[in-house]
């Protein structure tokens, strides 16, 4: 299996603060990779670097055989990287269907108008919003706004879809529904990088998880491995807790 996305030594600074420090990992075609970490860990900055919204200060980002770390966002989108934003900003005066069609007009697919609407209907079906296609977006609930955000990104026909906290603000039932949506999208053949700060969300769908904390990569492994990692436990529960746990394990 070859790497669809390869991140190699990516560093991003804002003033004196390193938001990302020499981050390296690969995403294999067909997987769902979870990227987790407490607020301020650098998750969104990482996603911004991959999608071209931010430019890394050092390191290389390769996507599908091309270096994309120095390219503009629209170029990267056309190469097949779709993304959602944590704070969704649909076009408020347009319907759900029209919003989704915008992705198809300008993304990797760059379809003519009729084709874009057909593509919009297809992705709305996929994310479970076909019945709301003609509704104005202002009438949507929070979970539906998140779904539409995914639909807009999918309409660009990405090979790789970057999801930035699409479960944030959802209740447990809505989270389960959103997870089903992610699984459906994945089954349709899209490679996914899923960013979340709630761990439970990623363990439900990801076989592999990368943990960021203060811009550094703490761990990369299966959810099980990662959740046992003392550095991860320290990042989430505090230093004392991690120490006590290690002592307890040492003493059996």
Q: Can you read off the two tokens belonging to residue 176?
A: 């389960």
Decide if residue 107 touches other proteins (CB under 8 A). no
* CA 195 – CA 181 distance, rounded (Å): 15
Kindly state whether residue 244 participates in binding other proteins, applying the rule CB under 8 A.
yes
The residues, ordered by sequence, that sit 6+ positions from 92 with a Cβ below 8 Å of its Cβ are 136, 137, 138
| Residue 35 CB, nearest approach to other proteins (Å) | 15
Q: Which stretch, 82-90, 93-101, 177-185, 200-208, contacts other proteins (CB under 8 A)?
A: 200-208
Task: Name the minimum Å distance from CB 84 to other proteins.
Answer: 17
Residue 233 engages other proteins in binding (rule: CB under 8 A): yes
**Position 218 contacts other proteins (CB under 8 A):** no
Q: Determine the Cα–Cα distance for residues 19 and 25; give it in Å rounded to an integer.
A: 16
Answer yes or no whether residue 200 interacts with other proteins by CB under 8 A: yes
* Candidate residues 198, 207, 222, 249; the one interacting with other proteins per rule CB under 8 A: 198
Q: How far is CA 52 from CA 44, 76, 105, 185, 227, in A?
A: 12, 7, 19, 23, 31
Which of 2, 13, 25, 17 minimizes the C-alpha distance to 212?
25
**How many residues bind other proteins, per CB under 8 A?**
28
Instruction: Provide the binding-site residues for other proteins, judged by CB under 8 A.
Output: 38-39, 141-142, 168-172, 197-201, 203, 223-224, 227, 232-233, 236-241, 244-245
């Amino acid at each position: 299996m070859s790497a669809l996305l390869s991140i190699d030594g990516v560093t991003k600074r804002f003033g004196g603060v390193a938001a990302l420090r020499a981050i390296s990992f690969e995403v294999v075609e067909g997987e769902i990779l979870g990227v987790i970490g407490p607020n301020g860990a650098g998750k969104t900055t990482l996603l911004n670097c991959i999608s071209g919204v931010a430019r890394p200060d050092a390191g290389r980002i390769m996507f599908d055989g091309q270096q994309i770390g120095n390219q503009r966002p629209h170029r990267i989108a056309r190469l097949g990287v779709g993304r959602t934003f944590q704070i969704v900003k649909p076009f408020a005066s347009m319907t759900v269907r029209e919003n989704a069609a915008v992705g198809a007009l300008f993304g990797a697919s760059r379809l003519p108008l009729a084709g874009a609407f057909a593509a919009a209907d297809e992705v709305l079906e996929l994310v479970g919003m076909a019945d709301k296609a003609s509704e104005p977006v202002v009438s949507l609930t929070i979970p539906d706004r998140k779904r539409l955000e995914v639909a807009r990104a999918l309409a660009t026909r990405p090979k790789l879809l970057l999801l930035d906290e699409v479960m944030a603000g959802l209740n447990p039932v809505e989270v389960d529904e959103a997870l089903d949506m992610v699984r459906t999208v994945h089954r349709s053949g899209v490679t996914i990088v899923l960013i979340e700060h709630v761990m439970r969300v990623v363990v439900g769908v990801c076989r592999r998880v990368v943990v960021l904390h203060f811009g550094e990569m703490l761990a990369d492994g299966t959810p099980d491995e990662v959740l046992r990692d003392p550095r991860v436990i320290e990042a989430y529960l505090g230093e004392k807790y991690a120490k006590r746990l290690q002592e307890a394990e040492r003493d059996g």
